Amino acid sequence: MNTVTVQCCIAGGGPAGMMLGLLLARAGVEVLVLEKHADFLRDFRGDTIHPSTLEVMHELGLLRDLLKLPHQEAPQINGQFGNLKLTIADFTHLKTQCRFIAFMPQWDFLNFLADRAVCYPTFSLRMHSEVTGLIEEAGHVVGVQAMSPDGPLTVHASLVVGADGRHSVVRAQAGLQVEDLGAPMDVLWFRLSRRPDDSEYPIGRFDAGRIFIMLSRGDYWQCGFVIPKGSHAQIRERGLSVFRSDLVQLAPFMADRVDELQDWEEIKLLTVQVDRLRQWYRPGLLCLGDAAHAMSPVAGVGINLAIQDAIAAANLLAAPLRANKLTTEDLRRVQQRREWPTHMTQRMQLFIQNRVISRVLHGEGQLSPPIFIRLLARFPFLRRIPARLIGIGFRPEHVNMPSS
């Protein structure tokens, strides 16, 4: 059995885990990231990098290199409610280095963070290594048990961080209490080819009983068809041809390419859940990102909220970890710092889910846009509000600990 001792062990190599690992190693903390998959290559993950995250990359001196990777830039988000076409969010007025959302495959972004992190001698990443349990002593978490390609792995650590997503093994093993906030929808994700004369900006189309989201990925559209919660089996029973017809009704310009969907295996189900932990920590353990608060796909802010968690955690924990003086009070401060923006973001998402999405999905006949949508269409300066909430968030974090 392999045994490793580090100051911080992070379970999960997603956005929160990789950003925290990079920042802690940059501050001189011995950190090990365990990622259960053999690589970061998984399709239909959130691929939006918002202005708040791009600002942090600028602070780290990494923005120029990051934007050399293939990506698409969206300075605005457009929508159509029934016959009403409008711009929902305009990012060009933000006071940030980048006034757009960057659409980049998440595996490219994670590989970029990993490549920069391994430049620090205190950073280590083990792929295909899955955490299977916690090691505890007198109620204090002191490490993890994992399964790696070389067999069982024991990691002793001053801090274990659960950044292993909404189905977190760490939070389940820790017995942390989850509050389910509910979601009225699920999403079917798939790809359709994109023509050079198609729009470059994200598009959301809302019609009675149906919602269709299209995100430009260069030569293809990443598409999301929003369905009522639990209705996936019924939609499949209606047949693929009916599904393709529904797409054409929402986006007529797609009529010449919906036949690219030849099998239901090409259409992936995302089961939406919105929840949060009442307490994010235990002595020796902290949860971040989706492990602490699973977000709705509304506005695509989950990745960026997870990254903000990681920045706050690094700012607050790097010094006590480096000095081997970490306390439970330090962990409480992380939750205290990030709990308010998490709750406010989820309130915003729940408002949109309940007041817009649920009504659209269960509506019939002519769709009447909500009043705040009509106001956005009438008064262009109001589009700065959703741009701020989506692009920056309620409490943006900035890197404030020095590099070692």
The pLDDT of residue 283 is: 98
Convert the pLDDT of each residue in 302-318 to its tens digit: 999 999 999 999 999 99
Query: Is the pLDDT score of 119 beyond 80?
Result: yes
Q: Is the pLDDT of residue 44 over 60?
A: no
Range 51-62 average pLDDT = 96
| C-alpha distance from residue 283 to each of 25, 31, 45, 167, 197 (Å) | 22, 18, 32, 21, 56
**CATH class in words for 2-73+98-181+273-358+382-391:** alpha beta
Q: What is the pLDDT of residue 1?
A: 64
- Percentage of the chain exceeding pLDDT 70: 98
pLDDT at 340: 97
Identify whether the C-beta of residue 38 lies closer than 8 Å to the C-beta of residue 148.
no
Interatomic CA distance for residues 80 and 373, integer angstroms: 10
How would residue 210 be classed by pLDDT, with cut points 50, 70 and 90?
Answer: confident
The pLDDT-based confidence of 233 (bands split at 50, 70, 90) is very high
Over residues 165-205, the pLDDT tens digits come to 989 999 999 999 999 998 899 999 999 999 988 887 778 88
Report the candidate in 337, 309, 8 with the shortest Cα–Cα distance to residue 156.
Answer: 8
The per-residue pLDDT for range 245-275, each reduced to its tens digit, is 999 988 888 999 999 999 999 999 988 989 9
Which residue in the block uniquely carries the two structure tokens 């053999």? 38
The whole-model pTM stands at 0.92
Report d(CA 30, CA 33) in Å as an integer: 10
* Mean pLDDT in residue range 89-112: 94
Q: Work out the pLDDT band at 70, boundaries 50, 70, 90.
A: very high
User: How many CB atoms sit inside 10 A of residue 141's CB?
Assistant: 24
Nearest-angstrom CA–CA distance, 165 and 146: 17
* CA 280 from centre of chain: 18
Bridge-based pairing of strands 130-137 and 275-277 is unpaired
Percent of the chain with pLDDT over 90: 75
Contacts of 192-199 with CB under 8 Å at 24 or more apart are 192/220, 192/221, 192/223, 192/254, 192/257, 192/258, 192/260, 192/261, 193/219, 193/220, 193/221, 193/257, 193/260, 194/218, 194/219, 194/220, 194/221, 198/253, 199/78
